[in-house]
Structure 1
Amino acid sequence: MAPRTRAQLAEKMAARDVPEDVVVEVLDRFEEVGLVDDRAFADGFVRSRSAGRGRRALVQELRRKGVDDETAEQALEVVDHDSQTDAARDLVRRKLRSTAGLERAVRERRLFGMLARRGFPTDVVLRVVREELDDEA
């Protein structure tokens, strides 16, 4: 079984009609013995997913999984501007091959959209796409 957050486990137990007081007691015990650790979950999640997503997308995914904002921010300390730029550059280089025969404006739109959907900051998106297209030409 993949690691889960406290919120995800609580949601699953509630879906199975487990009484709320039992859910709280079980999850408290799980945290006490180290079976549930939202901080460790967030750290692992960020490490495994940061190569293909920007900081904004990672924050949203962690929130959906029930990780509180403070824990998410602590986990995201490893995702700095340079690492986001490198990840965006790798994605753009891979996508450039599949858009080789298209006009530059079309390629820019597609690359901008891809990176924006993945949560990369606008300044990184604009700079990386333009630099990579210029380098290719």
Structure 2
Amino acid sequence: MRPSVGGGSETQAKDLCLRLLTDRARTRAELAERLAQKGYSADVTERVLDRLSEVGLIDDADFARQWVRSRHTYSGKGKRALAMELRRKGIGREDATEALAQIDVDDERQRASELVAKKLRTMSVDDRDRAARRLVSMLARRGFPQSVAFEVVKEQLDRAGAEADGMFDEP
């Protein structure tokens, strides 16, 4: 049943939010946007979202912490990319800053190093400069700081070169 323009009951709005929350956690802004798309009034939307927040079903700070941890660990995103994703999801600056504080420079460096090492297994390093540009670009697209990207790529290329040199040594 589709609510009419400007309308729909609180119960219908709450049911829609609960259905959306069964798929995955969502931010208050995402739910508000979805309710607006379905034609619910701002007043109904506000009351429903306030109630869902009161009972703990919507918690933007918790969402941000989980999102950052998951996307950094499993998608290999750097802080800059994660900050943009949180902004698009409607997370406030304070909650985003707190969530991003979970990742320190060492965490970013380690994750970048893992990504480069993985990529090096499938790419040719015959042209070291070209390989370095491609790897730094990959890390930049994922939101890693340029300084970290350059350091990690140089380190990994040096390591890959040393391992390749060692392959032809006699035991």
- TM-score tier after normalising by the smaller chain length: over 0.9
Give, in whole Å, the separation in 1 of the partners of 2:126 and 2:145. Answer: 25
Q: Which structure is higher in RCO with an 8 Å CA cutoff and minimum separation 6?
A: 1
Name the structure 1 match of 2:84: 60
* Matching residue of 1:48: 70
Q: Which residue of 2 aligns with 1:14?
A: 36
**1:1-137 alignment, distance < 5 Å:** 1-51=23-73, 52-137=76-161
Distance 1:3 1:81 in 2: 27
Q: So what's the TM-score if we normalise by structure 2?
A: 0.78
2:149 & 2:125 partners in 1: Cα distance?
Answer: 21
C-alpha separation in 2, matches of 1:31 and 1:40: 12
d(CA) in 2 for partners of 1:24 and 1:5?
13
Letter in 2 for 1:87: R
Unaligned ranges ≥5, structure 2? 1-22, 162-171
Structure 1 consecutive aligned stretches of length 4 or more whose deviation exceeds 4 Å = none
Alignment partners' CA distance in 1, 2:160 and 2:41 = 60
How far apart are residue 100 of structure 1 and its match? 2.5
Q: Pick which of 72-81 and 92-101 moved more.
A: 92-101
Distance in 2 (CA, whole Å) between partners of 1:125 and 1:15 is 41
The share of aligned pairs that are identical, in percent, is 49
Q: Write out per-residue CA displacement over residues 107-132 of structure 1, whole angstroms, 9 at most, x where no aligned residue.
A: 11110110000000111000000011
| Matching residue's letter, 2:31 | L
Which deviates more from structure 2 when the two are superposed, residues 100-109 or residues 86-95?
100-109
TM-score (norm 1): 0.97
The Cα shift of 1:102 comes to 3.6
RMSD: 0.8
* Partner SS for 1:78: coil
Letter of the structure 2 residue corresponding to residue 134 of structure 1: D
Counterpart-to-counterpart distance in 1, 2:137 and 2:101: 25
Residue type of the partner of 1:39?
A
Larger Rg: 2
Per-residue deviation at 1:50? 1.1
